[in-house]
Copies of this chain bind each other. A is one copy, B any other.
């Protein structure tokens, strides 16, 4: 990413950039991360290889940006974790939206291919975690911290670990396809994690 020049602002380069992202994500979905090549992306996007190399130094760099762009589109300009004062409602809203994303082929296809490659390739996996997974995890941590300050969490909870009680079950069901991913499931995960499985009171 050392040579990652900003695109010029003409409509034509924006169109090429969009075509390159789309081609990269489609190809990753179809043939997997490892077998996606700059040549393949260029051919599918209808641009010359040199157009890609002018903007990105490597296949990894163009794919990372395509994935960041996909995440941006999924976020739809909304990068704040909701804070209505009702932690349970906020977590359910976010996890339901995550379920919808995981069930959307536009997101599922390329993200699944990237995750599978990251499971095998530790270096790629680390980049995936750092650039794509940690930022949303930190939003969860921030929301839990606000709840903690407001007295809505038990004392002594490790917030980073607590986040995994929400995203771990959803990711497990998404990646391993054990059972259907539904809003009801997301709601149950939130309720169980917040209130625990043992009798209360």
This protein's copies in its complex: 2
A194, B185: Cβ atoms under 8 Å? no
B188, A161: Cβ atoms under 8 Å? yes
**What are the 4 A-B residue pairs with the smallest beta carbon separation, nearest first?**
A196-B196, A168-B169, A168-B168, A168-B172
A164, B189: Cβ atoms under 8 Å? yes
Closest Cβ–Cβ distance, residue A53 to chain B (whole Å): 28
| Cβ contacts under 8 Å, A87 to chain B | 198
| Residues from 10 to 31 in A contacting B, C-beta threshold 8 Å | none
Q: Which residues of A contact B (CB under 8 A)?
A: 32, 87, 112-113, 115-120, 122, 125-126, 128-129, 133-134, 137, 144, 151-154, 157-158, 160-162, 164-165, 167-173, 175-179, 185, 188-189, 192-201
A199, B152: Cβ atoms under 8 Å? yes
Closest Cβ–Cβ distance, residue A22 to chain B (whole Å): 20
Please report whether the interface of chain A is mostly helix, strand, loop or mixed according to DSSP: helix
Beyond A119-B175, A151-B199, 5 extra complex contacts between A and B, CB < 8 Å:
A144-B197, A158-B188, A165-B169, A171-B172, A196-B198
Residue of B129, B161, B165, B199 touching A154 (CB-CB under 8 A): B199
B162, A197: Cβ atoms under 8 Å? yes
In the complex, 8 of the A-B residue pairs with CB atoms within 8 angstroms, ordered by the A residue number, are A129-B177, A153-B197, A158-B188, A165-B189, A168-B168, A192-B193, A194-B196, A196-B198
